[in-house]
Amino acid sequence: MLDDVEIKRVIRNSGYMLITQGITYISPLLILGFLIKNLGIDGFGKYAVCLAVAAYIQVVIDYGFSFTSSRAISQNRDNKNLVSNVFWMTISIKILLAVVIFPFYYFIVSYLVNDDVLKEALIFAYLLVLGNSFLPIWYYQGKENLKPIAFLNLISRAFSCALVLLFVKNKNDINIALICQSVPSLVCALIAILIPVYKQEVQNTIPKISFVKEELAAGWSMFTATLYSVILSNSAVFLLGIMTNPVIVGAYATIERVIKAFTSLFAPLTQSVYPYNCNKFKESISSGLNSVNKTAKPIMVLAALGSLFIIIAMLFYHFYWVENKIAGFLQIATLLTLWMFFSVLNNILGIQTLSAAGHSRSYSNSFKCVAIFTLILMIVLINYWQNVGAAVSMFIGELSLTILLISKVNKLVSLHKVE
C-alpha cells in the first residue's frame, strides 16, 4: 500500500516536472523561428554560443547540488534541521561561486573574444546563468512537492517569450534576447527560494564548516560527472564557433536545439523517479535495482517511440517542407536523435542506478574518460566534416558512455549477488 502511494506521488511529481522542464525547452522552440528571422543566422549562431558557454558556467555554480542536495533532502525530509542546513549551505555556496567566478569570466571574455558583439553578449549571458543556477528545483524535488516550482516556471517562461516577441526586432538585439530570458528567470528563482522560508519549512541557520566540507566532498563526483556531461552535450556548438563560422554554427544549433528540446521532456520523468530510487537503494541494493528496473522500462519505451517520431518528422520536414535545405540535415538529425536515445539510457544507468546507489565516483570516472575521448574526436572530425563531424562525435561519445556504464552496472549487480 505504501509503495502504491509512493508511485502515485512519483507520477504526480512527474506531471509537475513535465510542466517545469517542458516549458523550459518548448518555450525556446516557440520563439526559435522568430529569433532566427530577426537575429539572422549569423546572430543566432552567436546567441547559440552564448547559451553553450552559459551552460558550462552554470554547471560550475551548480556543483552537482541538483543531485546531492536533492538526495540528502529526499532521504531526510522529516529532519527539519538537516534539511535547513542543506538548503542554506546550497544557496550560500552557489552565491559565493557566482561572485568569485564572474571577475575571471569577465577577464577571459574581454581578452580572448575578438568579436565585440559576441563579447558583449557573453557578458549579458551571465544573467541567464544566475537565473538558471539559483532556481532551487533540487529542494522541491527532494521534498517531492514540485507543484509550486512547476507553476512558477510556467509563468516565468511565458513572460520570457512575450518579452522576446515584443523587444527583439533585428540582428543587433542579441543582448535584449538574453535579458528578456534572464530577468523572469531571476525573479522566479528568488520567489522559489523565499517560499520555503516564508512557510517555515526551513529554519534560519548557519551550516557548520564541517557540514559544508562533508557536502562539498559528497558533491564532487556528481559535479565532475555533470561537468563532463555538459562538455559532451554542448562542446559541438562551442567548437564549431571556434573552428568554423556563425552560419555553420547557426545551422547546426537549429537542429540540435530541436533534438535537445525533445530530450529534455524525459527530464521530468528521470528527475521525479530519482528520489524514489534513492530511497529504495537506502533500504537495500536489491530494492534499488528492482525499483530502477520497474521505473526504467516505461521511460525507455517512450525514448524509443520518441526517437522514431523525430526521425519521421525530420524526413517529412526535409523532403516536403523546407526550401533552403541545411547541408547534412538528415545525417545530423539522425545522429542527434540516436544520441538522444542513448543519453536517456545513460541517465538510467548512471544517475538512477550508480548515483542513487552511492557510486557517483564510478559514474564520474566513466564520464571523464568519454568526455576526453569525445573532445579529441570532435576536434578531428569537425576539421573534415564540420557540423556533420560534430554530430558523429556526439553519437559515438554517448554510445561509448553507454558501453562503459553497462559494465559498471553489471559489476554492481555481480557484487550484490556475491554479498
Q: What is the mean pLDDT of residues 215-225?
A: 76
Instruction: Find, among 376, 344, 364, the residue nearest to 404 by Cα.
Output: 364
Distances in whole angstroms, Cα of residue 43 to Cα of each of 163, 173, 241, 249, 305: 18, 9, 12, 10, 34
Cα end-to-end span (Å), the chain: 29
Say how far apart CA 257 and CA 263 lie, in whole Å. Answer: 10
Does pLDDT of 93 surpass 70?
Answer: yes
Quick one: pLDDT at residue 11? Answer: 66
Tens digit of each residue's pLDDT (9 = 90 or more) over 204-217? 877 778 777 877 77
What element of type H or E holds 140? Answer: helix 137-143
Half-sphere exposure of 351 (CA within 13 A, CB side): 27
* 114 three-class SS: coil
pLDDT tens readout for residues 273-313: 887 888 888 788 888 899 899 889 989 999 999 999 988 88
Q: Confidence class of residue 187 from pLDDT cuts 50, 70 and 90?
A: very high
pLDDT classification of 1: cutoffs 50, 70, 90: very low
Work out the number of other CB atoms within 10 angstroms of the CB of residue 417. 9
Question: Residue 183 has what DSSP assignment?
Answer: H
The pLDDT of residue 336: 93
Integer Cα distance of 233 and 43 in angstroms? 21
Q: Torsion angle of alpha carbons 11, 12, 16, 17, nearest 10°?
A: -30
pLDDT bracket for residue 379 (50, 70, 90) = very high
The total number of structural domains that make up the chain: 1
- 405, three cell numbers: 556504464
Q: Cβ(393)–Cβ(378) under 8 Å? A: yes
How far is Cα 200 from Cα 92, in angstroms, rounded to an integer?
18
- The Cα 43–Cα 48 span in angstroms is 9
Quick: pLDDT tens for 164-178.
888 888 888 889 989
Beta carbons within 8 Å of 71's beta carbon, 6+ residues apart: 142, 274, 275, 278, 355, 356
| Residue 406 banded pLDDT, cuts 50, 70, 90 | very high
- Using left for φ > 0, alpha for ψ between -120 and 50, and beta otherwise, residue 245 falls in beta
Total-model pTM = 0.69
Q: CA–CA separation, 419 vs 410, rounded Å?
A: 14
- Chain centroid to Cα 21, Å, comes to 10
Q: Residue type at 248?
A: I
Given pLDDT bands bounded at 50, 70 and 90, which one contains residue 2? very low
**By residue range, what is the domain housing residue 23?**
2-418
Residue 84 near residue 255 (C-beta atoms within 8 A): no
pLDDT at position 106:
92
| Mean pLDDT confidence for 409-418 | 78
pLDDT digit string, tens, across residues 226-265: 777 777 777 888 888 888 887 788 778 888 878 887 887 7
